[in-house]
């Protein structure tokens, strides 16, 4: 069994996945994770998710605060990337399980 601290950390992690916008942002960043350009700018993430700039920025802030993404500024643009391969693997496994259930 996980310790109480581990249980709390897992609960916080899965709570982040429960918001559709945050989940879409993570999946979009996952698609770029191991590519030649492993980061996406906020404007790209807006286009991919169909969400407004303010909503995307707000949700990216929550993901950044949780340590799941990092950002860098290049002039007026802010680029985001996933921080850990473990999160990418978790998303891949979860999506695979959902697709198997649907089949």
- Sequence-ordered strand ranges (E) for the chain: 40-41, 69-74, 77-82
CATH number of the domain residue 90 falls in: 1.10.10.10
What CA–CA distances, in Å, run from 19 to 25, 54, 56, 74? 10, 15, 12, 28
pLDDT tens string 82-96: 998 889 999 999 999
Task: Please state the pTM of the whole predicted model.
Answer: 0.89
- Across the chain, mean pLDDT equals 93
Domain count, the chain: 1
Q: List the domain range (segments joined by +) for residue 57.
A: 4-102
Q: Measured between alpha carbons, how far is 29 from 38 in angstroms, rounded to an integer?
A: 8
Percent of the chain topping pLDDT 70: 100
What CA–CA distances, in Å, run from 66 to 12, 59, 82, 84, 92? 8, 11, 11, 12, 19
pLDDT tens string 58-74: 999 999 999 999 999 99
């Amino acid at each position: 069994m996980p310790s109480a601290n581990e249980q709390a950390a897992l609960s916080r992690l899965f709570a982040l996945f429960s918001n559709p916008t945050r989940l879409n942002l993570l999946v979009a960043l996952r698609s770029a994770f191991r590519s030649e350009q492993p980061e996406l700018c906020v404007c790209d993430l807006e286009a991919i998710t169909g969400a407004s700039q303010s909503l995307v920025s707000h949700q990216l802030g929550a993901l950044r605060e949780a340590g799941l993404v990092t950002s860098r500024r290049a002039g007026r643009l802010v680029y985001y990337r996933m921080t850990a391969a473990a999160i990418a693997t978790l998303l891949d496994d979860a999506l695979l399980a959902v697709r198997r259930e649907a089949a």
